[in-house]
Each structure stands twice: as C-alpha cells, then as structure tokens.
C-alpha cells in the first residue's frame, strides 16, 4: 500500500500557472534587457559573397552585431557535429542564422537586421531526398568526413547517417513464402508548435555564460554552447525557465548561443524570442519520410520475414534524427514476430530546415506504414485485420527482430481490454447514417529513454524535504508532481512538503533530459535511492532522541515514530535540527542509469538506440465515419490500452495519453508542414492547422498494470508514446471505411474524395 504514490496529487507549479505568475522563457527579460534578432538566409543554398554589418551597426539603439567572424570556427551537434553557429561560407537552408543583432528594442534590432548588407551566390539547392540521393548530387556538406561524432556510424556524402538491422536469412524466407506483399508510404513534416516559441535570455557574468531558456535537456544545451563558444562546459550555466511546451522541439540548443555571445559583447543581458513564423520555418519539425516495406507471409498469415527501407529527411544539419535512425527498424520488427529481417534507414541531408525530435521520434510514420501494410496483407489473405495482428503479436518471453526478449509483453491483455470497451464487431453510435464507417487497431512496443540522472534529497530544518536535480519540468508533471509524490512517499511527508529546485546545470547532477518518458522513471529511481539514505540518516539521529533502535522506527506524517508505540515520536524538524549538531545536515544523493538492452549485437549498425529499454506496450483502436460528400473524417471513438508499469499519478498519466492522442490526430488528419523548393510554406497557425477542442475525439483509456521491478514503485515511462499509434489506426479506419488504401499522411478531405472517386471503388464495409 502506498499513501501518496498512485494518488492524483496536484502539481507544484499549478497555482502559478493559473494565476499567470509562472515565468516562462518568453517572459524572462521582457523589459530592461537588450532585444536580439537574427538575420537568416533567404536562399536554400549558396555561398556568402559579401556580409557587411557596418551600416546596420551605426543605426540607433544598436549595441552589437555578431557574425561567424565573431565566434570560433567550430561545428556542434548531439551525435553528428555538423552544425556551425552561424553560416560561415556556405548557407544550407532558408532561415539559417547569418548574423545576430542586439539593440535597445526589438524594432531597432529588426531595423538593423534589415540594414545588414548580404550578397549570396546561389548554389543548386537539393530540396528533396531524391535529389540529394542522386548519384551525381552535389555534396551539401563537402567536408562531411571531417565532422566529429559522439559515436561512430555509417555515413556517406548526402547520407548523414545510416542504420541497419540485418538478422537471419531473409532471402530464404521470401523464397519460401506463400505470399509477398510490398508497399510504399510517404509522410509529411509535423511541427511541435508549443504555445511558447523558442526563447533565451543570456548574461555574461564572472567570466561565464549564463542562459535562461525553456530547455528540455539543459545539459545538452550546455554542451552544445561549450562546443560553439569554444569554452569548457563548466563555463556555461543553463537555468531552465518554466517551459511552455516542447514535445521534443526544445531538446537541442537553438537561440541560446546567440544571446550568450551578444551578452559578452554588450555587457548586458540579451533576449531573443522566435516569431511564430521563425518557429514554423526554422525550429526543426518531425522529419518527412518515405518508407518501402515488403513482407513474406505464410498462408496462415504468419510473418516469415520482412525488409524495409526508410529515407528520413535530415534537413541541412543533424539533430536527433540520426540518434534515432534505428527506431523505424525497431518499430517494424518490435511488436509482431518477425523471425528474419533486413531494415535500413538513411537519414538524408537536404537544403531544407533541419528536422528534429518530435514526441515519438521516427516512430509514428514507421507504425503508420507497418499497420497499413498489415491491412494490405490481411486483404490479400482474406483474413480479419485484428486476427492477423493477434496471430503475430509477440507474447511475453518472445524475441523481437533485434533478438531482444520481451519478458513482460502484455499485448494480449491490451487487445482484450480494448475488446471489452469497444468490441471489434460492434459499431459506435453515429448521427449520420449515410456516412461510411471503418475501424482500425494496432499495437506497438516503445521504450523508456535510458539516459542517466541523479537527485539529491535533503531534509530542511523545518522538517520538509528539498530535492535538487536537473530534471526539466516540461509540463508533464513528472517533476512538478510525480517526483514530489515519490519523495513524499519515501519520507512520510505530503507532496507539498517536498520542494524541488528548478533545473539548473550548476546545481543538479547530470540529467539526460525531458525526453522519451525518462524524467520520472530515472529521477524517481535516483530519488528513491537518495531517500533511502536520507531515511537511514534520520533514523540514526532519531534513535538517540527516542532511545530506541533504528530498526524499530518508521517515518510517518512528518515524524519519526517508534513502531507500535503511539506517542513515541519526534518531528522531522527536531531530527534535522539535532543532526546539525550530531551527524551533520541530512542529505544524500542518488543516481540512476538503465542497464543496456540485451540484444543480438551483431545485427545492428548505426544504432544509438539498440532496442527497447524498459519496454512499454500499447494497443490503440479507432472508429471513424467518413462523409462521402465532403470527405470529412470524424473519429467516433478512440481507445488506448497502455502499459505504464504503474501510474504514480493516474490523472497526469491520462493527461499525457489524451494530449498525445490529439497530437496524433493532428498528424493523421490536419498537420502538414509543407516545404516546396526549400521554402517552408506554412509560416502561420492560420494554415498550419493545429487541432482545437472540436477535434478532440471521445477517448477511453485502459491503463495496463504491469509493474516494472526496476522502476520507481513499478513505474515505467508514460509520457511519450501515446502519439505513436494514432495515425496508424486512424488511417486503417479510414481505409476500411472508403475501401481504398491510405499511403500518405495527412489524410485530408481532398485525399479522401480523390480516393473515393477513383475507378473501382468498393465503398466502405459497414461493419
């Protein structure tokens, strides 16, 4: 029994957020700080012939203008370090920073940007992957071989990164197959579009750079700044503000280096905030991709072997997509039994804005492709689509394509729970009898990011607890409520007696960032370890005060108590104060790292994620109706069965699922960050269409209780994965309704109508 863990405690930052008092990155330095703007490249590819800032620098209010000439000639990046802070000789995408201005006001900074004299000799732009992969294609990075890497991986020319998974005799499987099915899919860019744009305020003090920004992964930002600014990491301090949404888009550094250098040049604090247009056009979205997949199956619908080839658009510079290049293969071969497999992902440079992590990195399109492909196989075999999945989905103890054994897979339970809520053979009520109806169902394995973390727990002299860590509270509540609940549970406190210091790289232990559902998993484990030591320290001091053996003591309700002796107790405040004079202040640090995944190490190349660390299991289903006159898709019912290990705060977990599903609905039906000739066409939320309250479908949630022994109180990661299956099951449902395959995302009304008007339409199966 737990007292605090498993309850819907309120978030610590909630009051400030509903009062308008929380200070976000965009709120820092609104007044009294210099305002900065960037000069960005107007062309997708070219060589800088002339860059003259003299006239601009003389304009009123301008304090400094910096260009590549003012910063070290280095490149930086998380895995593949190919990105300069400013374009130096060559520009590689529209929007690439070329100069930065700091002025008294934003208007003055904008005027100075406009007055910078820039001449660029255009180069042939390679604005799509096919052009970049052509045999005679110009090299987007002529010096690609010289770039440093965090870890080596196969690369070549315009292929920034390649990852392969090759296991077993695939050719033999295809030769022996009853049926071979092959498909090709393309998917679009999707923009994270948090309400808060990227923002940063920089200062230079004590010979160090201090930057305040809504950073998801402050230590990555620190390390990137160190690389760009040519200083040791210890010369950089990243202080995380309240984060106004990130979804992966705020993992990497973006505006931070510019304010740091401008602050040093001007001796003033400097602020830089993206406009919404800059956000959409330059802050890396989910990558567009093309997937070819081919499967050998038996007459009974058993998958015998599979191969897939994925091209993922890196844009001009590398972010997280290279880090996750192995993910499509893990999705293809990680859920349904694929005994032999050959997968390749190429991450391809193009002269477009760099792409980046968006919740479920590389996963949603891989699952979309796989599930449509399975539907195609089911149709060819004349088999029920759900039945095909049930026959192939892995069971506990079975291995997936990389050789990893999934000991605790709970897909059967997931399918069963969905069947209870929304039986496959029954339809949801609808007000439109003329509409076409369809259903989709699919499953996926996902991971809890295994990155390291640490937490220090101390007992304050008033008997409350303090936690120091560098976990960024991105909005999920992982830090603001989940971590508090765990520490409160451990120490016999209430959540509001636990105070957590906001993330600051000067204070907290290294932390792997708010990504891949890892924050509460990793920091929860670290905090449990720290709390265990704190508890021992408390009991040791209290044992003297209570004249009892430490073994007979317990922590409860802010006191140390003698078990079974009501009244024999001492408040934590008294213990903490006593400790100041006896044992020393009460404090301990815990740390955490997830052990490496056990897999067949010979089968993978170029893989930073080699398998599913702390795996989680997900089954989603959707039922839609399609208006045959307008092509409009309406989601009548959506069901999620998700393994979260154990929910530390069920309400917050539900919030993650509901939010992730709606982002997935956007990806499936509405969101399409269009790029043409290197120009990101969607520069406004007027045409980049985010889901509103009207598009939120009814969603039922079944949390699968599947405690993970190595998780804090059994928890696994829960934040990220709900977005991944959504496009897959909605596309299956639409395809079922209209009797036509869906091969591209998003599924717009125009696409639906065009598909319906194709010859040979067999109208929807009304089930």
Residue 634 in the binding site for another protein (CB under 8 A): no
- Longest distance between any two alpha carbons in the chain, whole Å: 88
Residue 483 in the binding site for another protein (CB under 8 A): no
Sign of the Cα pseudo-torsion (38, 288, 701, 617, in order): negative
User: Which residue from 202, 244, 606, 712 is in contact with another protein, where contact means CB under 8 A?
Assistant: 244
**Binding range to another protein, per CB under 8 A, among 271-279, 391-399, 541-549, 619-627:** 271-279
What minimum distance in Å lies between the beta carbon of 24 and another protein? 6
Residue 450 in the binding site for another protein (CB under 8 A): no
Give the alpha-carbon dihedral of 252, 254, 256, 261, to 10 degrees: 130
Which residues share a beta bridge with 341?
Answer: 167, 306
What minimum distance in Å lies between the beta carbon of 498 and another protein? 17
Closest CA to 451 of 614, 684, 675, 297: 614
User: What track of x and - describes contact with another protein for positions 168 through 207 (by CB under 8 A)?
Assistant: ------------------------xxxxxx----------
Asked if residue 357 lies in contact with residue 515, where contact means CB atoms within 8 angstroms, the answer is yes
**By C-beta, is 555 or 661 nearer to another protein?**
661
**By C-beta, is 279 or 643 nearer to another protein?**
279
**By C-beta, is 605 or 651 nearer to another protein?**
651
**By C-beta, is 568 or 690 nearer to another protein?**
690
What does 19-68 look like in DSSP terms, one character per residue? Answer: HT---BGGGTTSSSSEEEEEEE-SSSSEEEEEEE-HHHHTSTTEEEEEEG
As a whole number of angstroms, the distance between CA 75 and CA 185 comes to 34
Residue 629 dihedral angles phi and psi, to the nearest 5°: -90, -35
As a whole number of angstroms, the distance between CA 696 and CA 719 comes to 18
Residue 23 in the binding site for another protein (CB under 8 A): yes
What residues have CB less than 8 Å from 710, skipping those under 6 apart? Answer: 525, 594, 614
User: Which residue from 282, 448, 497, 652 is in contact with another protein, where contact means CB under 8 A?
Assistant: 652
**By C-beta, is 9 or 80 nearer to another protein?**
9
**By C-beta, is 76 or 213 nearer to another protein?**
213
Which secondary-structure segment (H or E) carries 665? helix 650-665
User: What track of x and - describes contact with another protein for positions 276 through 295 (by CB under 8 A)?
Assistant: x-------------------
**By C-beta, is 574 or 690 nearer to another protein?**
690
Residue 477 in the binding site for another protein (CB under 8 A): yes
Closest CA to 22 of 455, 457, 469, 473: 473
Closest CA to 697 of 725, 659, 671, 731: 659
Asked if residue 259 lies in contact with residue 545, where contact means CB atoms within 8 angstroms, the answer is no
User: Which residue from 357, 530, 542, 699 is in contact with another protein, where contact means CB under 8 A?
Assistant: 699
User: Which residue from 284, 471, 660, 712 is in contact with another protein, where contact means CB under 8 A?
Assistant: 660
What minimum distance in Å lies between the beta carbon of 194 and another protein? 6
Cis, bond preceding 407 (omega within 30 deg of 0) = no
Residue that is written with structure tokens 């195609």 in the block: 376
**Binding range to another protein, per CB under 8 A, among 160-168, 579-587, 654-662, 703-711:** 654-662
**By C-beta, is 355 or 663 nearer to another protein?**
663
**Binding range to another protein, per CB under 8 A, among 55-63, 322-330, 579-587, 686-694:** 686-694
User: Which residue from 2, 30, 387, 506 is in contact with another protein, where contact means CB under 8 A?
Assistant: 30
Asked if residue 37 lies in contact with residue 109, where contact means CB atoms within 8 angstroms, the answer is yes
**By C-beta, is 45 or 481 nearer to another protein?**
481
Residue 750 in the binding site for another protein (CB under 8 A): no
Residue 632 in the binding site for another protein (CB under 8 A): no
What residues have CB less than 8 Å from 635, skipping those under 6 apart? Answer: 622, 623, 624, 665, 697, 698, 730, 733
Residue 681 in the binding site for another protein (CB under 8 A): no
The token pair at 706 is 């599947």
Residue 746 in the binding site for another protein (CB under 8 A): no
Which residues share a beta bridge with 649?
Answer: none
User: Which residue from 661, 669, 675, 703 is in contact with another protein, where contact means CB under 8 A?
Assistant: 661
What minimum distance in Å lies between the beta carbon of 215 and another protein? 14
**By C-beta, is 8 or 146 nearer to another protein?**
8
What minimum distance in Å lies between the beta carbon of 624 and another protein? 17
Which secondary-structure segment (H or E) carries 520? helix 518-546
As a whole number of angstroms, the distance between CA 731 and CA 741 comes to 8
Residue 248 in the binding site for another protein (CB under 8 A): no
Per CB under 8 A, contacts with another protein among 39-58 are none
**Which residues of the chain form contacts with another protein (CB under 8 A)?**
8, 10-11, 13-15, 17-24, 26-27, 30-31, 192-197, 242-247, 273, 275-276, 474-477, 651-652, 654-655, 658-663, 684-686, 690, 692-694, 696, 698-699
């Amino acid at each position: 029994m737990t007292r605090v863990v498993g309850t819907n405690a309120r978030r610590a930052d909630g009051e400030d957020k509903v009062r308008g008092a929380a200070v976000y990155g965009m709120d820092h330095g609104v007044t009294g700080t210099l305002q900065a703007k960037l000069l960005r490249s107007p062309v997708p590819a070219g060589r800088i012939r002339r860059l003259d800032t003299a006239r601009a620098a003389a304009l009123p209010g301008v304090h400094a203008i910096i260009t590549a000439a003012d910063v070290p000639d280095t490149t930086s990046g998380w895995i593949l370090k190919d990105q300069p802070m400013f374009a130096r000789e060559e520009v590689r995408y529209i929007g690439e920073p070329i100069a930065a201005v700091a002025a008294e006001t934003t208007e003055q900074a904008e005027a100075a940007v406009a007055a910078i004299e820039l001449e660029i000799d255009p180069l042939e732009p390679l604005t799509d992957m096919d052009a970049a992969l052509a045999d005679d294609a110009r090299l987007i990075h002529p010096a690609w071989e010289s770039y440093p890497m965090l870890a080596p991986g196969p690369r070549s020319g315009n292929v920034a990164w390649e990852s392969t998974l090759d296991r077993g005799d695939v050719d033999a499987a295809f030769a022996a197959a009853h049926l071979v099915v092959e498909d090709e899919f393309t998917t679009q860019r999707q923009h994270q579009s948090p309400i808060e744009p990227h923002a940063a305020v920089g200062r230079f003090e004590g010979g160090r750079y201090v930057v305040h920004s809504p950073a998801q992964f402050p230590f990555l930002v620190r390390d990137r700044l160190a690389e760009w600014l040519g200083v040791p990491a210890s010369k950089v301090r990243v202080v995380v503000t309240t984060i106004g949404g990130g979804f992966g888009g705020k993992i990497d550094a973006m505006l931070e280096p510019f304010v740091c250098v401008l602050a040093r040049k001007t001796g003033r604090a400097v602020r830089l905030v993206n406009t919404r247009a800059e956000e959409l056009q330059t802050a890396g979205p989910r990558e567009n991709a093309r997937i070819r997949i081919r499967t050998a199956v038996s007459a009974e619908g058993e998958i015998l072997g599979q191969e897939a080839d994925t091209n993922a658009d890196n844009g001009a510079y590398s972010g997280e997509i290279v880090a996750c290049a192995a993910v499509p293969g893990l999705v293809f071969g990680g859920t349904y039994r694929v005994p032999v497999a050959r997968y390749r992902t190429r991450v391809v440079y193009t002269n477009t804005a760099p792409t980046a992590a968006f919740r479920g990195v590389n996963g949603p399109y891989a699952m979309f492709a796989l599930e449509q492909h399975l539907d195609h196989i089911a149709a060819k075999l004349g088999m029920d689509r759900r039945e095909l999945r049930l026959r192939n989905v892995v069971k506990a103890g079975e291995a997936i394509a990389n050789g990893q054994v999934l000991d605790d897979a709970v897909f059967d339970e997931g399918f069963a729970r969905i069947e209870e809520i929304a039986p496959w053979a029954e339809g949801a009520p609808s007000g439109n009898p003329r509409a076409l109806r369809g259903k989709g169902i699919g499953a996926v394995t996902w991971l809890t990011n295994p990155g390291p973390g640490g937490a220090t727990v101390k007992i304050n002299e008033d008997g409350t607890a303090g936690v120091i860590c560098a976990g960024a509270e991105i909005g999920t509540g992982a830090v603001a409520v989940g971590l508090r609940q765990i520490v409160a549970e451990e120490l016999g406190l209430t959540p509001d007696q636990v105070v957590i210091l906001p993330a600051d790289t000067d204070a907290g232990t290294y932390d792997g960032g708010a990504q891949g559902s890892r924050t509460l998993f990793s920091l929860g484990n670290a905090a449990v370890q720290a709390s265990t030591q704190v508890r021992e320290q408390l009991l040791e001091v209290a044992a003297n005060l209570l004249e009892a053996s430490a073994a007979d003591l317990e922590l409860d309700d802010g006191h140390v108590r003698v078990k079974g002796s009501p009244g024999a107790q001492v408040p934590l405040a008294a213990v903490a104060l006593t400790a100041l004079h006896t044992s020393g202040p009460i404090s301990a640090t815990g740390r955490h790292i997830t052990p490496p995944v056990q897999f067949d190490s010979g089968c993978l190349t170029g893989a930073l994620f080699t398998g599913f660390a702390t795996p989680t299991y997900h089954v989603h289903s959707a039922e839609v109706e399609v208006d045959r006159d307008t092509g409009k898709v309406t989601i009548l019912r959506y069901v999620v069965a998700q393994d979260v290990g154990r929910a530390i705060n069920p309400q917050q977990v539900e919030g993650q699922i509901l939010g992730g599903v709606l982002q997935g609905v956007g990806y499936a039906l509405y969101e399409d960050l269009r790029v043409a000739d290197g120009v990101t066409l969607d520069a406004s939320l007027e045409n980049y269409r985010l889901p509103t309250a009207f598009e939120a479908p009814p969603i039922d949630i079944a949390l699968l209780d599947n405690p993970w022994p190595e998780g804090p109180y059994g928890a696994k990661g829960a934040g990220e994965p709900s977005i991944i299956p959504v496009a897959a099951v909605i596309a299956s449902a639409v395809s079922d309704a209209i009797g036509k395959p869906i091969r591209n995302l998003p599924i717009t009304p125009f696409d639906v109508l065009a598909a319906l008007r194709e010859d040979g339409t067999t109208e929807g199966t009304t089930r």
